[in-house]
Structure 1
Amino acid sequence: MPRIDESREFIPVRIAVLTVSDTRGLSEDRSGDTLVQRLTEAGHILADRAIVKDERKGIADQLRAWIVNDQVDVVISTGGTGLTGRDVTVEAHRDVYEKEIDAFGTVFTMVSYQKIGTSAVQSRATGGVAGGTYLFALPGSTGACKDAWDEILRWQLDYRHLPCNFVEIFPRLDEHQRRK
């Protein structure tokens, strides 16, 4: 159950949105639009936005570019998480993860199951961390993007959320690199 501590100050997070599609441009990118609308309404900052083809290397290259960009804290991708031969977003994400957030996919499946029943088994939503940046791969439907944002990311990207959230551990995500 989400719980917000109003005594804590909201901290805006800089979020990049990546749409993975062979056919969509910005004008047809309803899922990307949904994410942009929700994150900005929540008070976060749209750091960047891009559309890339369903190609593993291209997806991973874009993720890596944002990981090294200190103006990007979080990347949310939409599309390419299914089971078909062209769906390689999950593999591209895992190519760059230092650590996978295993429970993200599990919780997303739980949320999806409430909405679409056993069809939720076809989703391969994933989350991870690399270079101090959170990375999340969501299915390409607007419904899946709404569900992931409204039920998971909205809360975990809010510093006021208790008992814990992703924002409060930002400073420690890359501590292993500082110990050298």
Structure 2
Amino acid sequence: MDLSRPFVPVNIAVLTISDSRSLAEDRSGDVLVSRIELAEHKLVDRKLVKDDVGAIEAQLRAWIADPAVDVVISTGGTGITGRDVTPEAFARVLEKEIVGFGELFRMLSYAKIGSSTIQSRALGGVANGTYLFALPGSPGAAKDGWDDILVTQLDIRQRPCNLVELMPRLKEHL
């Protein structure tokens, strides 16, 4: 971390995907919101949608089209049961997948939950210059995804490289 560089806050939207929770009961979303605010980034929106590919895709597309949103972090729907459709919705909107995000998330999770980590389909990617990350729905997974990966990659002071310094170049192909 190069603390001589000035911090650059990013605008983050949080999406909870659940058939069984409301925002009032959304502990995983609360974990993300508190960490985003603690890191001095800007929470620009927070929503909850049902486990429905179309509903998830519609919300992702709305935020991808919004120039005020730099990053979307979702929680929930990344498992392997029939209702877990977050990766399928993400696949409909992603231009590029950040394969290493899911790989690193599962590697770090293995140290905590062992081989159960194979049930996670956590993923990351980019669409229209917006970073998208899908985390599992547990508060622990939200904490791990933020604390072990995103807090540093969304900090321009992280060395040797970070996702923030790439943001101006994400739309080069458009």
Q: TM-score w.r.t. structure 2 length?
A: 0.99
1:149 CA drift (Å) = 0.3
* Aligned partner of 1:91 among 83, 88, 93: 88
Aligned pair count? 174
Paired position in structure 2 for 1:161? 158
1:110 CA drift (Å) = 0.7
Tell me if 1:100 matches 2:106.
Answer: no
Gaps of 5+ in 2: none
Tell me if 1:113 matches 2:105.
Answer: no
Tell me if 1:171 matches 2:168.
Answer: yes
Paired position in structure 2 for 1:53? 50
Tell me if 1:76 matches 2:69.
Answer: no
Tell me if 1:8 matches 2:8.
Answer: no
1:148 CA drift (Å) = 0.5
1:41-91 C-alpha deviation (Å, 9 max, x unpaired): 001000100000000010011000000101100000000000000000011
* Aligned partner of 1:29 among 9, 14, 26: 26
Runs of 4+ residues over 6 Å off in structure 1: none
1:25-53 C-alpha deviation (Å, 9 max, x unpaired): 11100000000000110010001000000
Q: Distance in 2 between matches of 1:66 and 1:173?
A: 16
Task: Tell me which amino acid in the other structure corresponds to 1:78.
Answer: T
1:8 CA drift (Å) = 0.5
Paired position in structure 2 for 1:123? 120
Paired position in structure 2 for 1:148? 145
1:94 CA drift (Å) = 1.0
Q: Distance in 2 between matches of 1:172 and 1:160?
A: 18
Tell me if 1:63 matches 2:60.
Answer: yes
Task: Tell me which amino acid in the other structure corresponds to 1:103.
Answer: G
Paired position in structure 2 for 1:41? 38
Q: Distance in 2 between matches of 1:165 and 1:61?
A: 28
Q: Distance in 2 between matches of 1:29 and 1:21?
A: 9
Q: Distance in 2 between matches of 1:111 and 1:47?
A: 28
Task: Tell me which amino acid in the other structure corresponds to 2:23.
Answer: L
Gaps of 5+ in 1: none
Q: Distance in 1 between matches of 2:139 and 2:54?
A: 25
